Structure formats: structure tokens, C-alpha cells
Amino acid sequence: MCDCSVGVSTMNKTFGVIVCPECKAAKAVDLTNDTTQCHDCGKRLVLEKMRIHYKTISQEEARWAIGRLNAEMRGGELPEKEDVDENDDPCVKASKEAVIADSERERLEIICRVLGEEMEQFTSADVKEVYSHLGKECEDMEKKLRRLEDVYEPKEGVFRSV
């Protein structure tokens, strides 16, 4: 066995899971780099422009995410990107997924994940809209959004999920 496993504590690498736009293969990349080359088709990928489907410091978790993405793309439950129903409003979709949440935190996490998948970035107004679909209200929503681990706020009131 090779002894070169990543020492998370010292190296602090963050892995991102991306899908190569050229050959549609999911792969893990080291997000400290600016670019990477696809192992499968050789295309040069600029990470800044890529959609990061999953972010983790664990190589194992990245591998799991790749497997999941590949399975989804092979025509599992998710439809092909091309025939996504345009009427499928992200807020409606998020509210459908968020009904299973049994805590506010979980609800917000699900909403942010779905909105993050559907849109590049979203605002607290989008989250509020999801809440209105759910028939619920959320106090101090922005504060709660900021406390979520997988959500960051690049601009005041604008959120992205990783």
C-alpha cells in the first residue's frame, strides 16, 4: 500500500467535484489550483468557471460524490440537463424537497442545496418564496442562512451554496 494519503490537517486541501463539460465525466479536483486537465479527454478546465457540485476536504467523500454524480448522470432519477422542465421553478422544487425536513436548520439546508443546484446564487427573497410555498415563515432568515456551513455570502444578501 502506498503511504501517501492526504494529511488533511497539514495540507488543508479542498476537493471539488466537477463534471467535465466535454466528456461528462465527474472528477475530483484540488480547488487550490486554478486549472486542471481532464484525465479522460484532456480538456483544460478553468476551475473558476466550473460548477462545483460538491466540496469537501475528504478524498473519500469526494469519491462518494463522484459515484453519486455519475449514477445520476447515467439516467437515474435526475432528468438530463437538456430536458429540464422550464416550468419547474427552483423555489417550487426546493419546497417539494424541503417538506421532509424536521427542523428549521435541516429545512434551510435542503432549500439552500436545491436553490444552489438550480441557480448560481440566490437571495433571501428566494428562500422566503420557498417558505411561502411551504406555508411557513422564518424569522431572522438571513442570520440563519449565514450560520449554515455549506452556504456563503459573496455579496450582502446574496448566497451561494457549495
Q: Which is nearer to Zn ion, 50 or 151 (CB)?
A: 50
In this structure, are residues 159 and 124 in contact, taking their beta carbons and an 8 Å threshold? yes
82 three-state secondary structure: helix
Q: How far is the CB of 23 from Zn ion (least distance, A)?
A: 3
Residue 95 falls in which region: left (phi positive, over 0), alpha (psi -120 to 50) or beta? alpha
Q: Which is nearer to Zn ion, 25 or 158 (CB)?
A: 25
Q: How far is the CB of 72 from Zn ion (least distance, A)?
A: 17
Residues that bind Zn ion (CB under 5 A): 20, 22-23, 38, 40-41, 43
In this structure, are residues 30 and 13 in contact, taking their beta carbons and an 8 Å threshold? yes
Q: Which is nearer to Zn ion, 66 or 127 (CB)?
A: 66
Q: How far is the CB of 27 from Zn ion (least distance, A)?
A: 8
d(CA 35, CA 48): 8
